[in-house]
A and B are shown apart, each in its own frame.
Chain A
């Protein structure tokens, strides 16, 4: 048997092993690429915060009516972390679900109203009176406050957060409201640092809230 023949035979016999080695090498390479390009948690949080830095600007003087009937300026809420959600009480799913989920997550984190507040700003202030909102949030404790107010003031807040709402007619002259279903996470200085999308998994929501409350 000459050496060329032997070498060729070796090559043919070994190709599955070579292929396997190649695939393993590729896998290792992919793992390396994944681990090196995956941003570290800190820098990730930083770049997310940059993404949201344009939100909620120029609204310090917006006035709302809280569910005790008192007038508050938006900037009055600075000083502790705050969650902001735009909704309405005649909302069948996303608003109650969001309120339940946020409430459950904050319970799990063991925080109280000294640590955080949740501002639910109505995009249907004509029907969501302070009394109405007080009833709606009564069972959720002092963390949650429903806000009504002048439509023009609420519109300024909605625009500043690049949110959206519109009234949609239903039957018998009634209407429902299409609206942004995002929870904005705001630090004590009033800067948006993260957002929670509707339907985010529970564990992710918990991690996002933990980061805000850190």
Chain B
């Protein structure tokens, strides 16, 4: 019983860690779209690619779509979706990300992301990457994606304790 309670407590704390907002999370609103915690993983020299993540919420009554992204920090930016399939990482380009009224869409490790190609120099922690997001209804908005190491993201809750 002791271990069951211990496991439950561990699972609960993991869950809390997972849903707790990142302390330095940025938030902004553009029209009906709320943009929360835009961040990009730092990169190693020679990586030449990076992935950006953000949570979007459509506060409007009409559906919207994220159509594309651009950034002066990358030669090309695409919307991508990653998935794990029996030990194989699979990547595909998506042409739009739908935002139904009142829907939250989270671009996060393991799933949807903004894919930066042709990143000439490494992205370092704390760097602010300026990205223009283009929405079908809400139009274009410039968002600063904050660079942070991705391993702190994944080890949150079960790291050094």
**Interface stretch of the complex, out of B27-35, B55-63, B76-84:** B76-84
Q: Could you say which of B16-24, B39-47, B125-133, B138-146 contacts chain A?
A: B39-47
Hey, which chain A residues are within 8 Å of B91, CB to CB? 168, 176-178
Number of interface residues of B (CB under 8 A): 36
A210 at the interface (CB under 8 A from B): no
Whether the pair A136, B49 counts as a contact (CB closer than 8 A) is no
Contacts of A164 in B (CB 8 A): 88
Asked whether B159 lies within 8 Å of A202 as measured between CB atoms, the reply is yes
CA distance A82 to B91 in the complex (A): 28
Counting residue pairs across A and B whose Cβ atoms lie within 8 Å, the total is: 103
- For residue A26, give the distance in angstroms from its CB to the closest CB of chain B: 14
What residues of chain B lie closer than 8 Å to A101, measured between beta carbons?
151, 154-155
Given contacts A96-B44, A97-B109, A172-B76, contact A178 B90 (CB under 8 A): yes
Partner of A179, one of B80, B88, B115, B154: B88
Enumerate A150-209 residues with CB–CB distance to B below 8 Å.
164, 168, 170-172, 174, 176-182, 197-199, 201-203
B93 to A: closest C-beta gap in Å: 5
B14 nearest CB neighbor, chain A only: A201
Q: Determine whether the beta carbon of B44 is less than 8 Å from that of A182.
A: no
24 contacts between A and B (CB under 8 A): A90-B117, A92-B49, A94-B82, A94-B89, A100-B151, A101-B154, A135-B44, A136-B44, A136-B45, A139-B45, A168-B90, A168-B92, A170-B93, A171-B78, A178-B88, A178-B91, A180-B89, A181-B84, A181-B88, A181-B89, A199-B84, A201-B158, A202-B155, A202-B159
